[in-house]
Amino acid sequence: MTKATTIILTDTPVSEGWQADNPVQIFKNEIHICLKEGQELSLRDIQKAGRKIEGLGIDVAKLSGDLWTEESQWAFAMGFTCVGKLTNVEFTGAQAQKLMDKLAIFAWSRDLTNQTPSQLYPLKLAELAADYIKSQAPEHVSVEVISGEALEQQGWTGIYNVGKGSINPPCLMVLDYNPTGDAQAPVAASLVGKGITFDSGGYSLKASAGMFDMKCDMGGAAVVAGALALAINQGLDKRVKLFLCCAENMVSSHAYKLGDILTYKNGLTVEVANTDAEGRIVLADGLLAAADTQCELIINAATLTGAAMMATGGDYTALFGLDEQLMAQAKTQAIEANEPVWQLPLERWHQDKCPSVFADTANSRTQKGGGAGGASNAAGFLARFVPNDGKGWLHMDLAAAYNGSANSLWAAGGTGQGIATIAALLKA
């Protein structure tokens, strides 16, 4: 049995020697995170302490003491947990069980993101997500999976074309969580996730270094699935639909090509200017499906652009939308969840930033990274596929969803950032 190490948050330093000024101090068989006199450690500081403590080789962290709050315990857990230790925290106080349930859901989502492309092909991603959400409320969940040639036959041209070059067929997974018991109940919200289980870039082929971490390109699907699972666990009583747009973006004789023109269900034609801008191509189908539900809230999440990573440094999720009230609400929920977000520009005229001579729009520009304003231009493309002039729609470009290597805050791998924010928006 693995022995837990006690971690105490204290305002009394335990050492007067070489450790005296360190926030992390070791005393006998305990580890103390020490507040400086008259000051409080920020949640960021506590998360960093969690990362340092895990680096000492601690297997299980048992939190103890009266100074731990729900927020500080969660910050510690996000720093401490890592591959092989995704649930290895014992919480304390009245919120312990709530935090343990939340950590288990984050662990599932993070583990899903960390799986290899051979393990996690499109249909497997759909299956695992469906099974996990069903386990939260089996009597209220129904699932439909549309895959392979059926996608083309039913008009889901984006997912079909991005995924048709792979031996593993693409799919659209439609999950209906309906706790009302009424088959005619209105859908309150729809979630749309990018589920590219491996992204070679297609004929716009990535370099090896850029392709190495592309198992994480289904991080949007993992985040929205985790968010729905968390909201259900916390008592969600509204009908919500989940759309996962799953495909492998591969090179083959059957793969989609530069210059191809796709015609979507809404009649919009799209010229393929970059096969490595595939996320927006598949999300367009998911957004059209979400619009068909006539719900008031649509949230899509995706590891969509390198431009968002360049803009935020990977420390923030980039937020886009045309509904300022919803944007303000999302930022408030993100602050409460300690999931840093930053709003980047999006106006209706961003829809015209990827022009095409041969179609209504291109999916990108031919410049590297989509050119200047690439993240906003990608959001502008998506805005063409949402209803009500963007009212009730939120786009999350998940620049903070995955780290290729460990840093002072996070272990390597998926982070789950965005899950708590989306879950809160569903319950609002």
> pLDDT (tens digit, 0 to 9) for every residue of the chain, 428 residues total?
578 999 999 888 777 777 777 889 998 889 999 977 666 789 999 999 999 999 999 999 999 999 999 999 999 999 999 999 999 999 999 999 999 999 999 999 999 999 999 999 999 999 999 999 999 999 999 999 999 999 999 999 999 999 999 999 999 999 999 999 999 999 999 999 999 999 999 999 999 999 999 999 999 999 999 999 999 999 999 999 999 999 999 999 999 999 999 999 999 999 999 999 999 999 999 999 999 999 999 999 999 999 999 999 999 999 999 999 999 999 999 999 999 999 999 999 999 999 999 999 999 998 877 788 999 999 999 999 999 999 999 999 999 999 999 999 999 999 999 999 999 999 99
What CA–CA distance (Å, rounded) separates 291 from 386? 6
What CA–CA distance (Å, rounded) separates 159 from 52? 42
DSSP 3: P
Q: Indicate if 48 belongs to the active site.
A: no
Considering the candidates 280, 353, 365, 384, report the single residue annotated as catalytic.
280
Predicted TM-score (pTM) above 0.95? yes
Contact 142, 217 (CB under 8 A): no
Q: Tell me which residue has tokens 């699972």.
A: 229
DSSP 238: S
Q: Indicate if 36 belongs to the active site.
A: no
What CA–CA distance (Å, rounded) separates 206 from 396? 23
- Nearest partner of 322 among 334, 313, 314, 330, judged by Cα: 330
What CA–CA distance (Å, rounded) separates 378 from 307? 10
Considering the candidates 85, 124, 206, 331, report the single residue annotated as catalytic.
206
